[in-house]
Amino acid sequence: MKIISALQHKYGLSEQGARDLMKSSLACALMDITLMLPVGLLYLLVGDLLGGGIDHPMAYVVCVAVCVALIVAVSHLKYNKQYTSVYVESGKRRIALAEKLRRLPLSFFGKRNLADLSSTIMADCTAVETGTSHFVPDLMGSMLSTALVGASLFIFDWRMALAAVWVIPVSMAIVMASARVQRRIFSREHQVKLSLADHIQEGLELFQDIRGNSAERGYLGELHRRVEQVEQRALRNELLLAYFVGAAQLVLRLGIASVALVGAALLSSGGISLMVFFMFLLVVSRLYEPMSVALINMVAINAMNIPCERMDAIMSHGEQSGANMLTNSGFDVEFHDVHFAYDADTPVLNGVAFRAKQGEVTAIIGPSGSGKTTITRLAARFWDVSAGRITVGGMDIAQVDPETLLSLYSIVFQDVTLFNNTVLENIRIGRKEATDDEVLAAARLAHVDAFAERLPQGWGTLIGENGSELSGGERQRISIARAFLKDAPIVLLDEATASLDAENETFVQESLSRLVRGKTVLVIAHRMRTVAGADSVVVLAGGRVQQQGSPAELARTEGFYRDMLALQQDALGWSV
């Protein structure tokens, strides 16, 4: 059905979620109609009283009991359809977003900050959950029940019916006409809220640097300014929306006056009976109540457009895909005329071509910004190349599913990500099914035992968010232990020993030499001590391969490698 498909796209629902939304809307309409039953009962009671008395009073008692029972039953049905199913759907939506994020290329995350994504997964999902449980069903139910009741009024008297219903399309038109204005103000409000969230998150992550540079006053001043922006924007928006909703509700209330005036005129001329006039007054007193709430819901639903579009931007984003089978022959990693740019106007790699052979260590060196880290990210298909191709054992990695491809890689990057869990469990990330003995063996190879056994609870110590309880070198050693545990045939190292002191660097270098034996190794390094042990060196500059060869060959050739070697030799003689 087209309406089901439209609801799925509009509110990011599953097919079952869209069907449940339709059912909850029908339940809301049924609730509105059920609440009209007491009005009908009152109409019959007044008719009997004016006709000379109540012949069967118990009949009214029974009718009241039936009305109460129906209202309770329909209320229970409405609650289950309107809320329970929506909360189930909200859980599915969050899981679907998480699954989608897992399949997206890392280029997507490079263009979205963490506060923005967190806001989408948490705040936007909550906004849509609230909208689809409270606003959308009530609006659709109110429109349906009002249309049914309004159409039935024409059976009694078309003139009185027109007097009753003309205000409904006019009031709705006022709110709908303001949709463009609402979108603009909601968009601005979202931007200032996101700016505030981004500033708070930035402060939490960098508070050590803020305090270390005595920048607290400036940070808090900017925080105060952004909080004031959110407050002022919220107040301004509420006031502006009140104009539209207030005007629409005022027009809606004119319906009672128009029914009274038209009814009085028709009654005085004999055009309608007193009971018909009374019936219309009773009906319109109840008819406008759900529509008054619906006008407010229309504004709330317009506010949902922005979070819905933000979620849709994630769900409709292209995924990295490929075959789930590996067809490589060996583990040589080769770049074939690779071009890449994070932004179209700023190329990072321009025709890079080299081969990292299996069983050899290939060092990537070059000045800052030359594309060294980009090389390792592309090799693992964290991003896809703009042109050219990358192969592993002759297999084009662009044709392989990213998760399948990553089974070939052990990765130790300079930026280590740890979880607020135990030391053992953080290492076990390298291979989830590993036994404790296997994890401990990998940990000892990376010299994690040197500090882990001194922790308060030893290997079972929680290390804090992103390893906040550990030093930089200790965090790096856990990352290296993961690589030992995974024991993949291709190893990517990005300044793996950068955070280690001289003593620990010696230990870890020894361990790494065992890790990389017989494997394809790509290592980014600035220390010539690390580069000197490589089998091959690739020198990048300006996004191109400027030199390539063994350390001994490059040391005899004029260029960046020999210059760096000389500079670091000179640095050994520096003193303070």
285, 378: one domain = no
The count of domains in the chain is: 2
pLDDT digits (tens, 9 = 90+) for 200-259: 877 877 777 888 888 888 888 888 998 998 888 888 888 887 888 888 888 888 888 888
274, 406: one domain = no
Cβ atoms 226, 196 nearer than 8 A: yes
In terms of average pLDDT, the best of 136-150, 169-183, 428-442, 529-543 is: 428-442
SS3 annotation, 4-35: HHHHHHHHCCCHHHHHHHHHHHHHHHHHHHHC
182, 208: one domain = yes
- pLDDT-above-90 percentage for the chain: 9
**Is pLDDT at 131 greater than 50 in this prediction?**
yes
CA dihedral 462, 465, 468, 473 (to 10 degrees): 80
**Is pLDDT at 430 greater than 80 in this prediction?**
yes
Pairing label, strands 490-494, 409-412: parallel
Let me know if residue 324 belongs to a domain.
no
Spacing of C-alpha 56 from chain mean position: 63
Q: For position 469, which CATH number holds? A: 3.40.50.300
56, 186: one domain = yes
150, 198: one domain = yes
Let me know if residue 414 belongs to a domain.
yes
Let me know if residue 209 belongs to a domain.
yes
Let me know if residue 24 belongs to a domain.
yes
Residue 152 belongs to domain spanning: 2-315
**Is pLDDT at 575 greater than 50 in this prediction?**
no
375, 505: one domain = yes
Let me know if residue 321 belongs to a domain.
no
Let me know if residue 532 belongs to a domain.
yes
412, 284: one domain = no
Let me know if residue 322 belongs to a domain.
no
Single out the residue in 315, 344, 371 at which a domain terminates: 315
From CA 344, how far away is CA 444, in angstroms rounded? Answer: 45
**What residues pair up with 323 in beta bridges, in sequence order?**
400
**Is pLDDT at 397 greater than 80 in this prediction?**
yes
pLDDT digits (tens, 9 = 90+) for 269-326: 888 888 888 888 888 877 888 888 788 878 877 777 778 777 877 887 778 888 889 9
483, 566: one domain = yes
73, 136: one domain = yes
Instruction: Look at residue 345 and give its three-state secondary structure.
Output: coil
Please give the pLDDT value at position 568: 64
275, 380: one domain = no
Q: For position 113, which CATH number holds? A: 1.20.1560.10
Model confidence pTM above 0.75: no
367, 274: one domain = no
466, 493: one domain = yes
What is the length of the chain? 576
